[in-house]
Amino acid sequence: MATTSIDPSHATLSVTEHEHCLHVELVRPEKKNAIDAAMAAELHGVCERLEASPKTLVISGSGGVFAAGADLAEMRQRRSPEALAGINSFLFRRIHQLPMPVIAAVDGWALGGGAELAYAADFRIASVNARFGNPEVGLGIAAAAGGSWRLRELVGEPMAKHILLAGRILDAQESLASGLVTEVVEPDELLRSAFRLVDQIANGAPTAVRLTKALMNMPESAHPVVDNMAQALLFESTEKFERMTAFLEKRNARNS
């Protein structure tokens, strides 16, 4: 898979473009990739790029850590206006709502805001060293950037409460058993596994992938109207006719 590095001006991210995806590596090794305002701004820039030119997004962390939370030195200084501004919550919502799927490749710690960033992805792949947790209540705050509700949707209410209220840390195998991650691999296989998933997604028709993700994010009250509208668009697409024709021709050739 050919790659081209882009945006060398980033201070907290390493961004590489692949044929079917954009790979973003969090790079603040001295802070264990903690998410600060500069990283949040740069991630917004990545979102702007992917909203304009949709591709699957792969997010990973450098130095054997995904992200050990939000930057506490910044968080300690924030007051109610910053909380109401939703600095991380709006960013993670934007990431979750990107047109194409988002894959979090998690090695080592994913804590607090780092865990919430992973929860915002469509897929989470973990190395055997991965650890997920939300220690916010121990710091006098809440997991208010999606953790308080996304985690419940991902692992169920009892497990979510154990993590959010009692500080339970999930290791890689517990994360797999709970459904939080879809695969556990050795650290040196993590990105290869993520890119394999990228290729599997790329086998689908891009418009169909985008609309299917959008449908899955719709509230229950919107169905089945939005499903029928999406299908109406797809029924008129060139992709549908080309792919169905190729499938039928291949099947007929096998049967002849």
Which residues participate in catalysis according to the annotation? 116, 136
Question: Which has the closest alpha carbon to 78: 134, 133, 26, 144?
Answer: 144
Rounded Cα–Cα distance for residues 220 and 146 (Å): 19
Structural contact between residues 125 and 58, judged by C-beta atoms closer than 8 angstroms: no
Enumerate the H helices of 21-146 as residue ranges. 37-52, 72-77, 80-85, 87-96, 113-119
Structural contact between residues 100 and 56, judged by C-beta atoms closer than 8 angstroms: yes
| CA distances from residue 204 to 65, 132, 201, 224 in whole angstroms, order as listed | 31, 31, 6, 22
Tokens coding 134:
């939300």
Residue with tokens 């339970």: 168
For CA atoms 211, 216, 217, 222, the dihedral sign is: positive
Rounded Cα–Cα distance for residues 256 and 254 (Å): 6
Strands 109-111 and 131-133, bridge-based pairing: parallel
